[in-house]
Structure 1
Amino acid sequence: DALVPWTLKRRLEDEAPTHFEAPTGNRHAIDYEGAGAPALHIRVQELFGLKAHPAIAGGKLPLTLNLLSPAHRPIQITRDLPGFWSGSWAAVKADMKGRYPRHPWPDDPANAPPTARAKPRGT
């Protein structure tokens, strides 16, 4: 640890962080070793409200998003979140709404509040 100067260590943490902080405030590990690295495995509801695609290296390297269902099953992989919201989200939403009716599936996810929870009972 002492072999790396503090300023270089700080820059490395800024450019290649170990975790991504979702709009919900939850931190998720970034996978630098698997296919499509750098990659992030995250439930799609935690990205609601995000208008720009998450990236590292000062915004130069987009993360490969492995979007997951509420049960942590793969839904879709994308490197273009705004394109996903405006494109195939409608089909994904229709499929997921039937499987997970207690979770929010907004028409405009880029402007919806992010969540890591199901809707309260009775809503």
Structure 2
Amino acid sequence: MKKYSKSAHHSLGELNITPLLDLAFVLLVIFIITTTPVVNDLELNLPSASSRPKDAPKKPNYVTVDGSGKIYLNMKEVDLIALQQLLVQLRTEDPDLSVVVRGDSKIQYQNIVNVLDILQQANVSKVGLATEPAKK
């Protein structure tokens, strides 16, 4: 009587995860070795690099649009054309010019957009919009 062996093509019922675990542990060990520990428990008197005091931060320029639509640059009333000329002049004097736009909450949004367009045309890249915190 001939004996038949089981077929070698049976479905895989189990998944061998040993190589996967080996890889995970190797990656964990590499991660632990390559990360540098933060050591802040030593008291040191570090030398100073220079005795020159830091420059004071530059005061930002304010463009204000009041409730009637009038435009002010640093408390001086200007129109849009004069605003652009003054901003170009200020930017040539200080390439790191920063401007804060303050607008009354009752004015039309288009007035603020016009000011932002002028700032873009004058190549002023540091622009902030002043707001007040919401009342709870």
Q: TM-score range by the shorter chain?
A: under 0.3
Question: What's the TM-score, normalizing by structure 1?
Answer: 0.26
Between structure 1 and structure 2, the one with the greater Rg is: 2
